[in-house]
Amino acid sequence: MGADSIPKSTASDTPVDINKEIQSQLWRRNQAWRDKLYKSVCHQALDTPEIDDMQNVGNKSGMTWKELAVIGLVLIAGGWVAKDYINVNQQQTTPTSAPASVDSEYEVRFFDQDGNPINVPNVNEMP
């Protein structure tokens, strides 16, 4: 089996001179269509929007007024919660007033060295 066994194309419509420039344009257009179709199918499979469908694809720097408003509201709410927490803790740790003094009477006895009681008059009995 040599090179003689391979049949040669003898079709009458086979172009003798292939225009390579037109062929490459067709190939590039076909390739672009395939790439677009592949990306579209991938976006559909992943359920993500295609870049053409996105409204804002540019990069941005800084914060918009909406982001600043959200941050401000979060800070205000956090301050409010902290203030309430501090007030509750102060109310719990505030000492209560001392109970009213109760007048009590005690009998106090004094003894000398020998164990004999010493008579001390009561404060109310003193002139």
* Cβ 41 vs Cβ 35: under 8 Å: no
Q: How many CB atoms lie within 10 A of CB 12?
A: 4
Question: What average pLDDT score do residues 68-86 get?
Answer: 90
For the whole model, what pTM was predicted? 0.28
Q: Is 98 helix (H, G, I), strand (E, B) or coil?
A: coil
pLDDT of 68 higher than 60: yes
pLDDT of residue 4: 59
81-105 pLDDT, tens digit each: 888 888 877 766 656 666 667 777 7
The per-residue pLDDT for range 5-60, each reduced to its tens digit, is 655 655 555 565 667 788 888 889 999 999 999 988 888 888 887 766 555 556 66
Cα-Cα-Cα-Cα dihedral sign, residues 89, 95, 97, 98 = positive
